[in-house]
């Protein structure tokens, strides 16, 4: 299994839940993310195995397309090192689960953090689902309905099933039915489940 690093992290996009895909899109479009988004994505990336050094490279590559290296070092580097417990209180922070993510202040118009099933307007959510190949599909309606009813994790679990349907069917046959189909409660659980299916 290949290790996640600053160069290849984009190749794992399809293994990421929508909240993280959205943050990855935000950083690659704006070459910046506001605090809430930086925290949510940085802890997730740490959880999928991006080392502290590789994380700094990843964020520096992105941010220095919109600012100088000096500014990155001065204003942001500490924060990313802090996330790995390399600065300040040296706390080993854990990646956030869905509940923690949803307990943070909701994103404003220019922010990308939070849960898309809760925070995006129906039309925007539909566009994102379309990018996953779920547009014009009755399945997309099921996801929108769940999200309308406030069942955000059920919507996320549904999307996982739809996107990975073939892999799940195959794994059920080849891994003695050993496939976790419980509800998604954590973005890293989504990622690990997706990687497991591809092994």
Give the residues lining the site for ligand SF4 (CB under 6 A).
17-19, 98, 101, 115-117, 152-153, 156, 184, 187, 190
Toward ligand SF4, which CB reaches closer, 60 or 104? 104
Closest distance of CB 114 from ligand SF4, Å? 7
Q: Which of 104, 66, 60, 97 is nearest to 81 (CA)?
A: 60
Closest distance of CB 88 from ligand SF4, Å? 26
Toward ligand SF4, which CB reaches closer, 63 or 96? 96
Closest distance of CB 53 from ligand SF4, Å? 26
Cα–Cα–Cα angle for 162, 98, 143, nearest 5°?
30
Q: Quick check: 146 and 180 in contact, CB under 8 A?
A: no
Q: Rounded CA gap, 172 and 49, in Å?
A: 27
Toward ligand SF4, which CB reaches closer, 39 or 63? 39
Q: Rounded CA gap, 86 and 55, in Å?
A: 12
Closest distance of CB 64 from ligand SF4, Å? 28
Toward ligand SF4, which CB reaches closer, 62 or 147? 147
Q: Rounded CA gap, 13 and 21, in Å?
A: 6
Residue 106, C-beta contacts closer than 8 angstroms, at least 6 positions apart: 114, 119
Closest distance of CB 44 from ligand SF4, Å? 9
Toward ligand SF4, which CB reaches closer, 63 or 190? 190
Helices (H), 48-186: 52-63, 69-75, 77-83, 98-103, 116-119, 122-131, 138-148, 152-163, 165-174
């Amino acid at each position: 299994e290949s290790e996640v690093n600053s160069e290849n992290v984009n190749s794992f996009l399809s293994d990421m839940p929508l909240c993280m895909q959205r943050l990855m899109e935000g950083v690659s479009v704006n070459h910046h993310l506001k605090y809430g988004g930086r925290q949510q994505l940085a802890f997730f990336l740490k959880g999928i195995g991006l080392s502290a050094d590789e994380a700094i490279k990843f964020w520096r590559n992105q941010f220095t397309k919109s600012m100088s290296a000096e500014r990155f070092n001065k204003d942001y580097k500490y924060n990313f090192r802090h996330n790995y417990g390399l600065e300040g209180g040296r706390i080993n922070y854990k990646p956030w689960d869905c509940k923690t993510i949803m307990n943070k202040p909701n994103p404003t118009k220019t922010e990308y953090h939070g849960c898309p099933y809760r925070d995006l307007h129906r039309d925007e959510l539909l566009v994102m689902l379309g990018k996953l190949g779920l547009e014009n599909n009755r399945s997309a309606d099921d996801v929108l309905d769940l999200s309308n009813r406030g069942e955000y994790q059920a919507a996320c679990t549904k999307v996982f099933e739809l996107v990975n349907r073939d892999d799940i069917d195959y794994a059920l046959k080849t891994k003695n039915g050993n496939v976790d189909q419980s509800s998604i409660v954590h973005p890293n659980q989504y990622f690990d489940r997706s990687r497991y299916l591809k092994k």
